[in-house]
Structure 1
Amino acid sequence: MSGEKLKPLVIGKSAKPRCFSRIKPERLPVTYRNNKKAWMTSELMIDWLKSVDRQMKRSGRHILMFLDNAPAHPKVTLDNIKLVFLPANTTSVAQPMDQGIIQTLKLKYRSRQLKYILSQMEHSDKVGSTILREISILDAIYWINGSWKEVEASTIQKCFAKCGFTQFNQVCSDNDDDDDEVPLAVLRLSNELFGCTFSDLVDIDKAVPTFDLNTVNWDRNARI
């Protein structure tokens, strides 16, 4: 709520992708985990929660963490974190991450991705589609980390405020961190490579499942 950020958790399919040959996963700027479908699972979520709980314990802090009813979000008792689950079917209005935080991160990530492709096109004979296919998960990890660092604390604060998590009258504007500052060449490349506008590209993976949708019910009463 104050805008403080934790290290991103990235889930891939392989335990040791080839691009990790010269780097140990524990030395990455993100927390890296894997499973066959690159899905968030209850087991991975519990492991992450316990890791954050240990971090809070080391710093002598006690925090509230608000979670939505995503199927991979389990009930678990922790020492320094109290989990509070949002009521069913309220994620779109009560989850601060959905009010612009995720959108801002994706916008910055896509901008980095396309700027990289433009840079490589300028220094090689490769076309954009070839460079796109050669992007590794390690590239993506560094872009995620850099993009997350660029998300301003004020953006996070405003998105919490939009959900009512503050006494201050702040509003997360729909125009915050929009694509007005994205170079024209990047906007053009988005259409050439993906056949859509840059704004649509930011949301292109919105329908991609991040967990198993067939095993549990989103509408369950997950509150504790």
Structure 2
Amino acid sequence: LTCNALGTKKLEPLIIGRYQRPCCFKRRSGSELGFLYFFNTKAWMNHTIFQDWIAKLNLKVEFFHPNMTLHLQPLDSGIIQNFKSSFKTQSVDREMDPKKLFEIDQFIAMNLAIKAWQAVSEATIHNCWIHMGLIDLTQVWSVSVFFFFFLG
């Protein structure tokens, strides 16, 4: 998940799966289905996927010292919780329909993730950045920093 401090810019979730064309994709690739989708045997983020993704975004990335990341994670301060809550709510709502019981495959889960990310409000994102103390309220409109979080 990637967003700026105001919550006005939320990038499409990058999704990593195990297979190039899972059965539920019906012989199409993730990109053909409209997803930002990568794959490898363990479905993990690796340097190749990260470099390809960053190159497409045309962003400069600054890395923090290892001990700094614990204190500088605005997505950990409520954004991810909000995303997961929305995802779970959608999943449960879907399971309440007897015709769709236990029908969540990778394709459906990816669509639910997109909807869950869209449901995270600008206010939620903005408040989490403020709560972390990473932005000055008087200069908030000039902030265009992005944070990345990878769901494992």
Smaller-chain TM-score bracket: 0.7 to 0.9
Q: Matched residues, percent identical?
A: 30
Q: Which has the larger radius of gyration?
A: 1
TM-score (norm: length of structure 1): 0.55
Q: After the TM superposition, which parts of structure 1 deviate over 3 Å for at least 4 consecutive aligned residues?
A: none
**1:154 lines up with 2:126 in the alignment:** no
Counterpart in the other structure of 2:68? 90
8 Å contact from structure 1 (residues 11, 32) kept in 2: yes
Distance 1:24 1:44 in 2: 16
Q: Which runs of 5+ in 1 are unaligned?
A: 54-80, 170-208, 211-224
Q: Which has the higher contact order (CA 8 A, sep 6+)?
A: 2
Q: How many residues align?
A: 135
Determine if the alignment matches structure 1 residue 113 to structure 2 residue 88: no
2:36 to 31, 34, 57: 31
- Distance between the aligned counterparts of 2:29 and 2:134, measured in 1? 39
- Where does the alignment leave 5 or more consecutive residues of structure 2 unmatched? 139-150
The alignment's TM-score, normalised by the length of structure 2, stands at: 0.79
- Name the CA distance, whole Å, in 2 between partners of 1:143 and 1:29: 14
Q: Secondary structure at the match of 1:94?
A: coil
* Distance change >3 Å, CA 22–CA 13, structure 1 → 2: closer
* 1:161–1:155 distance in 2 versus 1, CA, 3 Å: same
TM-superposition CA deviations, 1:154-203 (whole Å, max 9, x none): 1111111122222129xxxxxxxxxxxxxxxxxxxxxxxxxxxxxxxxxx
Using the alignment, how far apart are the partners of 1:144 and 1:135 within structure 2? 12
CA distance in 1, matches of 2:80, 2:26: 30
1:191-210 superposed matches below 5 A: 210=152
In structure 1, C-alpha distance between the alignment counterparts of 2:49 and 2:92, rounded to whole Å? 31
2:10 is paired with a residue of what secondary structure? coil
